[in-house]
A = this chain, B = another copy of it.
Amino acid sequence: MNAQTPYKLKSYICGEWKAGTRDGVELLDAGTGAVVATIDASGLDMGEALDFGRRSGSALRAMTFHERAEMLKALAKALNEHKAEFHALSLATGATPRDGMVDIEGGLATLFSYSGMGRRELPNTRTLVEGDLLPLSKDGSFSAQHILTPLQGVAVHINAFNFPCWGMLEKLAPTLLAGVPAVIKPASQTAYLTELMVRRMIDSGILPDGALQLISGSVGDLLDHVTGQDVVTFTGSANTGRMLRVHPRIIAESTRFTMEADSLNASVLGPDAVAGTPEFDLFIKEIAREMTVKAGQKCTAIRRVMAPRAQVQSVIEALGAQLAKMGVGLPGDEGTRMGALASLAQRTEVRDRIRDLSVDAEIAIGDPDAVTVVSGDPDAGAFLNPVVMYCDNPSAAKAVHDVEAFGPVSTVMPYDDLDEAVALTHRGKGSLTASVFTNDPAVAEAAVIGMAPYHGRILLGNRVSAKTSTGHGAPLPNLVHGGPGRAGGGEEMGGVRGVKHFMQRTAVQGAPAMLSAVTGRWIDGAPTRDDTHPFRKSLADLRIGDQLVTEKRQITLADVEHFADFTGDTFYAHMNEEAAKANPFFDGRVAHGYLIVSFAAGLFVQPDPGPVLANYGVDNLRFLTPVYPGDTLGVRLTCKEINPRTNADHGEVRWDCQVTNQAGEVVAQYDVLTMVAKIWPD
């Protein structure tokens, strides 16, 4: 199959590739106008598809986070083998190879990234425990813990035409990692590329049946079948999003609905970044790049260019020079720097919006009606050269803050002081992203704090990050993507946050033994076992609640002085009775905190070679009661969490370590982190 052979796209639902019952709509190559494929999903049973997905959820939920993360990695590797095929077909969408990288390699990178986060930041369990234990009683008999469990529905992802691969994968990765099956509904215009990638995923056999379904064509009555356990996400125009959001079934079931809409993203040139500074040059390059990557068809593209009034002329001139280098033509052609819009209809749409913008702004660079190409047929292909508008009085203007031309179009507008620039960014009524180019930290602070309530992401550009910046327009897997208001009010990705969007948060309250059973984490007051020293147990034997209560040890003044002498830590609170007494926290000389934890380790370690391999860290160490010379310490060490690694012979074990004094007061509380072998002797 290739872009030259039209074929009928199929849907993959209920475990089968199915064609719609009608002939379908022709999808044309954006650069040549040739028919690439036809699309239709008529007659498919959408309710059945959702049910099939829901039933399959149990297979995903039976996997741990690490197993799901490994699955994502395998999927990314499998797709990686087919990159050439994807790139070849991607050209038909109007995307240059550089654009295709953002979509295809960017999508795979997102899969890899979520796989890594799953293994590093999530436990190797099925339930996610969130936050600390919350005591609800003085005696410890009643507490609470928040947990997250996978929703028992499906995630329906309704995607935009501009990123047929990344748009699918950035949502699929957190969905599958959460343990929730997905139904993908790509925008028709470029659905052939999504369909091809889904085929390769299904062919790989990596996913459980039903974990991934595809609808090539209209969703029909699908939304009539969603429930409160399903999630619907939408990426695309604000108008369509609003229509979906009020779907009676979504409202009746309180179905989670996440929207990510195009927005009037701004880029601000700092007052300090005058022509001739590195920041000025970075600003110009960034705008030109955002206008031309994907021919400006990005929901994060820079639509509003804000510069100090004195810099506006320089900005327009520099932009003109930069854009003049961007030859427009067939996406696969070597001389092409910018490809085609997705379709001729899209070009008409962009020209109409430029007319709307003309109420407030004049054209400073380019001519939307005169197409100049380096290759291809300017009438058959959806080509459009970049257009820069200029709006002289943006505070009084309306269209430039409301109307989005979804193509290579930006409007330059002057500002008189930074407050005005911040206020102008607000006029977009909520945006996905913004950028500020400045080398002045004070400008960065004022601009970001002022703009943040209206933005999901803000990029600060300066000379230091010139080479390493990922750019204004690039959403990243570990950063939130989405914005308030006009941008849809949604949040996607953002690392593990994105996984939680497909899970239900539940506060669980109860006695320690009960909470411990639910969370798989030992809690003070839950049952313990003290049969043998827990350092003698490999993961095969070790269980949460395994506990050691140590012998006692007295700390003498000689110990404190010796420790000070040995380590060099002669801080006055340990060495000077008078100064220590003057301190609001102490009644006299106190033992070093590091001495307490060192003696504690001396009390709890078991010295013989054994399954405990290393102490790799300590978390949340708090010194709660001063230790005075003469005090006697004891340690209670309890196995709190066990996290076997999927791909190693060991795993992480977290120990609750509590050091108490002769009065039973807790003097230090912390988690000791160790690596423990799965089997010993091995």
Please list the residues of chain A having a beta carbon within 8 angstroms of any beta carbon in chain B: 126-127, 131, 134, 136-139, 141-142, 144, 146-147, 149-152, 227-229, 242, 245-246, 251-256, 259, 261, 426, 429-430, 438, 441-442, 444-445, 448-449, 452-462, 464-465, 467-470, 476, 478-480, 484-489, 491, 494-495, 503-518, 553, 562-563, 566-573, 575-576, 579, 582-586, 592-595, 597-599, 601-603, 605-610, 612-623, 649-650, 670, 675
**Given A151-B453, A575-B607, A517 and B441 touching (CB < 8 A)?**
yes
Is B603 a contact of A568 with CB atoms below 8 Å? yes
Is B571 a contact of A562 with CB atoms below 8 Å? no
Closest chain B CB from A388 CB (angstroms)? 25
**Given A568-B603, A576-B609, A467 and B585 touching (CB < 8 A)?**
no
Residue of B nearest to A671 (CB): B621
Residue of B nearest to A512 (CB): B464
- Bound-state CA distance A150–B454 (Å) is 10
Residue of B nearest to A602 (CB): B568
Q: Which 8 A-B residue pairings sit nearest by Cβ, starting from the closest? A: A228-B485, A568-B602, A460-B510, A254-B489, A441-B517, A137-B468, A464-B511, A479-B507
Is B621 a contact of A619 with CB atoms below 8 Å? yes
- Bound-state CA distance A468–B135 (Å) is 11
- Bound-state CA distance A138–B470 (Å) is 12
Q: Which residues of chain B are within 8 angstroms of A570 by Cβ–Cβ distance?
A: 605, 607
Q: Which residues of chain B are within 8 angstroms of A444 by Cβ–Cβ distance?
A: 510, 514, 517-518
Q: Which residues of chain B are within 8 angstroms of A613 by Cβ–Cβ distance?
A: 573, 583-585
Closest chain B CB from A427 CB (angstroms)? 12
Is B579 a contact of A139 with CB atoms below 8 Å? no
Is B623 a contact of A615 with CB atoms below 8 Å? yes
Is B567 a contact of A488 with CB atoms below 8 Å? no
Q: Which residues of chain B are within 8 angstroms of A229 by Cβ–Cβ distance?
A: 430, 453-454, 484-485
Is A504 a contact of B484 with CB atoms below 8 Å? yes
Task: Apart from A245-B251, A568-B605, list 16 A-B contacts with CB within 8 A.
Answer: A142-B465, A142-B468, A147-B448, A254-B261, A452-B506, A457-B509, A460-B514, A460-B515, A469-B509, A470-B509, A476-B507, A568-B603, A571-B607, A585-B614, A595-B598, A618-B618
Closest chain B CB from A423 CB (angstroms)? 11
**Given A484-B229, A489-B254, A605-B570, A462 and B620 touching (CB < 8 A)?**
no
Q: Which residues of chain B are within 8 angstroms of A610 by Cβ–Cβ distance?
A: 572
Closest chain B CB from A491 CB (angstroms)? 7
**Given A256-B489, A441-B513, A430 and B469 touching (CB < 8 A)?**
no
- Bound-state CA distance A614–B512 (Å) is 33
- Bound-state CA distance A509–B485 (Å) is 21
Closest chain B CB from A554 CB (angstroms)? 13
Choose one: B462, B504, B562; the contact of A566 (CB below 8 Å): B562
What are some 24 contacts across the A-B interface (CB < 8 A)?
A136-B468, A141-B468, A147-B448, A228-B486, A229-B485, A246-B251, A254-B487, A254-B488, A441-B513, A441-B516, A452-B506, A458-B507, A458-B509, A460-B511, A460-B514, A460-B518, A462-B511, A465-B510, A562-B566, A568-B602, A568-B605, A572-B608, A582-B609, A617-B623
Q: Which residues of chain B are within 8 angstroms of A566 by Cβ–Cβ distance?
A: 562-563, 566, 598
Is B510 a contact of A494 with CB atoms below 8 Å? no
- Bound-state CA distance A505–B575 (Å) is 47
- Bound-state CA distance A441–B518 (Å) is 8
Is A254 a contact of B511 with CB atoms below 8 Å? no
Choose one: B468, B509, B572, B595; the contact of A607 (CB below 8 Å): B572
Q: Which residues of chain B are within 8 angstroms of A495 by Cβ–Cβ distance?
A: 131, 134
- Bound-state CA distance A517–B488 (Å) is 29
**Given A517-B442, A562-B566, A608-B572, A453 and B149 touching (CB < 8 A)?**
yes
Choose one: B459, B476, B562, B619; the contact of A620 (CB below 8 Å): B619
- Bound-state CA distance A605–B505 (Å) is 44
Q: Which residues of chain B are within 8 angstroms of A670 by Cβ–Cβ distance?
A: 618
Choose one: B426, B509, B553, B571; the contact of A605 (CB below 8 Å): B571
- Bound-state CA distance A459–B449 (Å) is 40
- Bound-state CA distance A256–B675 (Å) is 44
- Bound-state CA distance A571–B536 (Å) is 12
- Bound-state CA distance A568–B141 (Å) is 35
Is A141 a contact of B598 with CB atoms below 8 Å? no
Residue of B nearest to A148 (CB): B452
Is A614 a contact of B594 with CB atoms below 8 Å? no
Closest chain B CB from A441 CB (angstroms)? 3
Closest chain B CB from A311 CB (angstroms)? 20
Is A134 a contact of B478 with CB atoms below 8 Å? yes
**Given A134-B478, A141-B464, A601 and B569 touching (CB < 8 A)?**
yes
Is A489 a contact of B621 with CB atoms below 8 Å? no
**Given A149-B453, A567-B599, A568-B602, A479 and B144 touching (CB < 8 A)?**
yes
Residue of B nearest to A520 (CB): B445
Q: Which residues of chain B are within 8 angstroms of A609 by Cβ–Cβ distance?
A: 572, 576, 579, 582
Residue of B nearest to A150 (CB): B453
**Given A453-B504, A605-B570, A610-B572, A227 and B429 touching (CB < 8 A)?**
yes
**Given A457-B507, A602-B567, A480 and B517 touching (CB < 8 A)?**
no
Counting chain B CB atoms within 10 Å of each CB, which of A152, A246, A441, A675 scores highest? A441
Is B430 a contact of A484 with CB atoms below 8 Å? no
- Bound-state CA distance A486–B259 (Å) is 21
Q: Which residues of chain B are within 8 angstroms of A126 by Cβ–Cβ distance?
A: 449
Is A622 a contact of B616 with CB atoms below 8 Å? yes
Closest chain B CB from A679 CB (angstroms)? 13
Closest chain B CB from A180 CB (angstroms)? 10
Closest chain B CB from A244 CB (angstroms)? 10
Q: Which residues of chain B are within 8 angstroms of A491 by Cβ–Cβ distance?
A: 505
- Bound-state CA distance A632–B611 (Å) is 29
Closest chain B CB from A464 CB (angstroms)? 4
Choose one: B259, B464, B571, B623; the contact of A616 (CB below 8 Å): B623
Residue of B nearest to A508 (CB): B458
Q: Which residues of chain B are within 8 angstroms of A571 by Cβ–Cβ distance?
A: 601, 605-607, 612
Q: Which residues of chain B are within 8 angstroms of A137 by Cβ–Cβ distance?
A: 465, 468
Is B509 a contact of A459 with CB atoms below 8 Å? yes
Q: Which residues of chain B are within 8 angstroms of A470 by Cβ–Cβ distance?
A: 136, 142, 509
Is A254 a contact of B430 with CB atoms below 8 Å? yes
Is A147 a contact of B514 with CB atoms below 8 Å? no
